[in-house]
Amino acid sequence: EDCAVFQCRGCRAVLGDSLHLCAQEERRLGLLACLKVTDDVAWEDSLMIGLEGALLGCAYNALSCRSCGLIVGFTLYSTFSDLAHLRGLFCFFKDNILCYLLKNKMIIEASKVNFPALTLKE
């Protein structure tokens, strides 16, 4: 009933869907973490190191939209224990994606969508 397709905010390319959603982090990161993504998601081979904010000290690969190049998220390579549950997942920034809600047939900003409570921390 809450099925959605995740789209790039820049060009509306399909990046993933809620069937592969496994965590929703609201607090400081504001992201959706998925097990799988589409071929429209590209990731940088080189690791980046977070120099500020919530990713300070974390090593990660940036995720971008293959169609328009917008940075849509990241995959964590190494991190502190408070973010370890996200390591290896595809994390989309809610501010950089849109959700197409299948039931309502409408597009809404991902930051305004509340999916069922999911967490990997436990």
Where are the chain's structural domains? 4-112
User: Are the beta carbons of 4 and 18 closer than 8 angstroms?
Assistant: yes
Mean pLDDT to the nearest integer, 104-114:
86
pLDDT digits (tens, 9 = 90+) for 36-90: 999 999 998 899 999 988 888 999 999 999 999 999 999 999 988 888 888 889 9
Average pLDDT taken over every residue of the chain = 87
Phi, psi (rounded to 5 degrees) for 99: -115, 125
| Rounded to 5°, angle at Cα 69 from 64 and 72 | 35
Distance from the Cα of residue 17 to its chain's centroid: 10
User: Are the beta carbons of 25 and 74 closer than 8 angstroms?
Assistant: no
Buried b / exposed e over 93-102, threshold 16 CB at 10 Å, is: bbebbbbbee
| 27/88: higher pLDDT | 88
**pLDDT classification of 122: cutoffs 50, 70, 90:** very low
Mean pLDDT to the nearest integer, 85-100:
92
For residue 1, pLDDT beyond 70? no
Q: Can you give the pLDDT at residue 82?
A: 83
pTM: 0.87
Q: Which fold does the domain 4-112 belong to in CATH? A: 2.170.150
Phi, psi (rounded to 5 degrees) for 83: -115, 5
Q: Can you give the pLDDT at residue 26?
A: 56
Q: Can you give the pLDDT at residue 70?
A: 97
User: Are the beta carbons of 34 and 89 closer than 8 angstroms?
Assistant: yes
